[in-house]
Amino acid sequence: MTGAVSPDRRRFLTTGAAVLGAAASAQLWLPAAARAAEASLPDGVFSLGVASGDPLPDGIVLWTRLAPDPLNGGGMPSATVPVQWELAEDERFRKVVRRGTAQAQAKYGHSVHVDVRGLRAGRTYWYRFRAAGQLSRTGRTRTAPAAGSSGGTLRVALASCQNWQHGYFTPYADMLAQDPDFVLFVGDYIYESPPASTGPRRHEGSGEPYSLTQYRNRYAQYRTDPDLAAMHAGAPFVVTFDDHEVDNDFAGEIPQDPGKQTHDAFVARLAAAYQAYYEHMPVRATAVPDGPHIRMYRRLEFGRLARLNVLDTRQFRSDQATSQAGAQDPSLTMLGAEQKAWLLKGLRGSPARWNLIASQIMMAETDLKIGDGKLWYYDAWDGYQAERNAFLQEFKKVRNPVVLTGDRHLTMISDLKEDFARPGSAVVGAEFVGTSISSNGDQDQAAFHQQFDPLMPDNPHWKLLDAHRGYHLLDINRDGIDAQVRIVDTVVRPQATPSTLAKLRLDAGKPGVRLV
């Protein structure tokens, strides 16, 4: 992307008021306090960059947050500040198609979420913000294909798990070069861990975040990674959170370590964490939190080519099992009744060629016990056997289901089986566990294979296992999905060399995934 200031800046600044129309005249009626605040903002209000997200055929969310002192609460006065935005069909803003003024409010950390509508389907737009005479960098975004369209290719980058302390977010530099239509981020956008003295980078603050200000500072630090910031400015994101946006392995209102956090304290922590999450993500107003609750599960359509069901596998789940028998308790739920019904309805009635499910945690089985018997991870779908198995049965009736996952900090690409207890049962779908952007750092590949290769005979549905950092790139079209596992040679330095580890193929109408 180019820098913020285009040759058109002068024109935008001087004639902007004349063409802003209703939005601009509304600005004249701003309280005096707001106008005074706008005039006196410190430099660097756009330090956190820009982002866009949740593309519709005719709409997109544009995001920024005013934060001249990003690691210390933001550094903004408490007044509401008007932020002008404009969206154009060209990078130099000669053909501006939408303009307006949003109000950056202290109660949302002076974040701005503009839900632009009335746009053309399947096309690229550029956008930028202005506040107090300061201009943001230019962002590029893209709307979804037209409803009913079935041709073309949708390029999706699957990303997850970016631990600041484990490395630089170098896979995003390659991702930007691959020009995805959108980035699907399936959780662990931040980590709540305290600053550590080892590792290439160190978390801000002095401990785990609990308060809203502490979570804001943590998100702000992550956004200062230049590759992440550039990726946000380069393509829309579709995001959902996993556990580390709040607390490791939490379940609903139950923290990882109930002995260390009272219920009330954890509920307050959830509210702070969700609030900061909303403030920093390019999501619609439907995701404005209500105290310790946030609505993140949602559906996005990409013509008749793909339907994307984005899940929330944290807020509504039962507490994790602690034994093999417990994991098979039919009363355990991962999604909760309401979300489960919503997902089933969206799968059964789907007109889409590909039915994508963004799940934070792995759906295919991981049997950790060599030989007879099984041992599962109870935080993943394996720990919620009854509900998972019912979905696998359901998949037999769904057109081309593909599950897209994070959490494991590994590339794990699998067939989904009708019944993992019966190795000969039918293949009903496929799953991509999209390694991690930086979490686990530069792993010892030999040690990884020494540990995992002996498990392959117990997990014959695994098609590819790898422990490099990176992401997966999916080119989705009517006939199939061509997938690439894109990896980097390092995340402990700010620059890396990317490469393709493997290519895989899914054929429409033929469940399962294969290496090519």
Angle between helices 226-234 and 212-223 (to 10 degrees): 80
Residue 293 CB, shortest distance to Fe ion, in Å, is 23
Residue 12, SS3 per DSSP: helix
User: 428-487: which residues touch Ca ion (CB under 5 A)?
Assistant: 458
Taking CB under 5 A as the criterion, the residue among 54, 86, 188, 225 binding Fe ion is: 188
Give the max Cα distance, the chain.
Answer: 75
Of the pair 138, 435, the CB lying nearest Fe ion is at 435
Instruction: Report which residue's Cβ sits closest to Ca ion.
Output: 458
Q: Which stretch binds Ca ion (CB under 5 A): 122-130, 142-150, 253-261, 364-372?
A: 364-372
Of the pair 166, 304, the CB lying nearest Fe ion is at 166
Of the pair 54, 243, the CB lying nearest Fe ion is at 243
The letter for the amino acid at 392 is L
Pick one of Fe ion, Ca ion, none as the site partner of residue 458 (Cβ within 5 to 8 A by kind): Ca ion
> How far apart are the C-alpha atoms of 411 and 429, rounded to whole Å?
17
Q: Which stretch binds Fe ion (CB under 5 A): 144-152, 180-188, 201-209, 352-360?
A: 180-188
Of the pair 400, 439, the CB lying nearest Fe ion is at 439
Taking CB under 5 A as the criterion, the residue among 92, 94, 123, 369 binding Ca ion is: 369
Of the pair 139, 406, the CB lying nearest Fe ion is at 406
Beta-strand ranges (E) seen in 81-236 are: 81-88, 96-104, 111-116, 124-131, 134-135, 139-142, 154-159, 182-185
User: 32-91: which residues touch Fe ion (CB under 5 A)?
Assistant: none
Q: Which stretch binds Fe ion (CB under 5 A): 2-10, 182-190, 288-296, 314-322?
A: 182-190
Beta strand 411-417 with 427-434 is antiparallel
Of the pair 196, 370, the CB lying nearest Fe ion is at 196
**Structure token pair of residue 321:** 């099992």
Pick one of Ca ion, Fe ion, none as the site partner of residue 466 (Cβ within 5 to 8 A by kind): none
Angle between helices 171-178 and 226-234 (to 10 degrees): 20
Residue 380 CB, shortest distance to Ca ion, in Å, is 16
Pick one of Ca ion, Fe ion, none as the site partner of residue 493 (Cβ within 5 to 8 A by kind): none
Pick one of Ca ion, Fe ion, none as the site partner of residue 188 (Cβ within 5 to 8 A by kind): Fe ion
> How far apart are the C-alpha atoms of 504 and 152, rounded to whole Å?
19
Of the pair 133, 423, the CB lying nearest Ca ion is at 423
Pick one of Fe ion, Ca ion, none as the site partner of residue 367 (Cβ within 5 to 8 A by kind): Ca ion
Q: From its phi and psi, is residue 308 left (phi > 0), alpha (psi between -120 and 50) or beta?
A: beta
CA distances from 447 to 41, 267, 444 (A): 52, 40, 5
Taking CB under 5 A as the criterion, the residue among 439, 440, 477, 484 binding Fe ion is: 439
Residues 148/303, Cβ–Cβ less than 8 Å: yes
Of the pair 415, 458, the CB lying nearest Ca ion is at 458
Interior/surface letters 200-216, b for 16+ CB within 10 angstroms, e for the rest: bbebbbeebbbebbbbb
Q: Which residues contact 225 (CB under 8 A, 6 or more apart)?
A: 162, 164, 168, 169, 172
Using CB under 5 A as the binding rule, whether residue 367 contacts Ca ion is answered as yes
* Cα dihedral 326→331→337→339 (10° resolution): 20
Residue 161 CB, shortest distance to Fe ion, in Å, is 3
Interior/surface letters 464-503, b for 16+ CB within 10 angstroms, e for the rest: bbbbbbbbbbbbbbeebbbbbbbbbebbbebebebeebbe
Q: Which stretch binds Ca ion (CB under 5 A): 181-189, 194-202, 215-223, 365-373?
A: 365-373
Residues 292/267, Cβ–Cβ less than 8 Å: yes
Residue 4 CB, shortest distance to Ca ion, in Å, is 56
Q: Which stretch binds Fe ion (CB under 5 A): 121-129, 149-157, 338-346, 433-441?
A: 433-441
Phi and psi dihedrals of 430, rounded to 5?
Answer: -145, 155
Of the pair 65, 203, the CB lying nearest Fe ion is at 203
Pick one of Ca ion, Fe ion, none as the site partner of residue 318 (Cβ within 5 to 8 A by kind): none
Using CB under 5 A as the binding rule, whether residue 435 contacts Fe ion is answered as no
End-to-end CA, the chain: 33
Of the pair 19, 421, the CB lying nearest Ca ion is at 421
Q: From its phi and psi, is residue 439 left (phi > 0), alpha (psi between -120 and 50) or beta?
A: beta
User: 254-293: which residues touch Fe ion (CB under 5 A)?
Assistant: none
Using CB under 5 A as the binding rule, whether residue 423 contacts Ca ion is answered as no
Residues 169/227, Cβ–Cβ less than 8 Å: yes
Question: How many residues interact with Ca ion (rule CB under 5 A)?
Answer: 3
Question: If you count them, how many residues does the chain have?
Answer: 516
Taking CB under 5 A as the criterion, the residue among 51, 158, 161, 476 binding Fe ion is: 161
Of the pair 127, 378, the CB lying nearest Ca ion is at 378
* Chain positions contacting Ca ion, by CB under 5 A: 367, 369, 458
* Chain positions contacting Fe ion, by CB under 5 A: 161, 188, 439
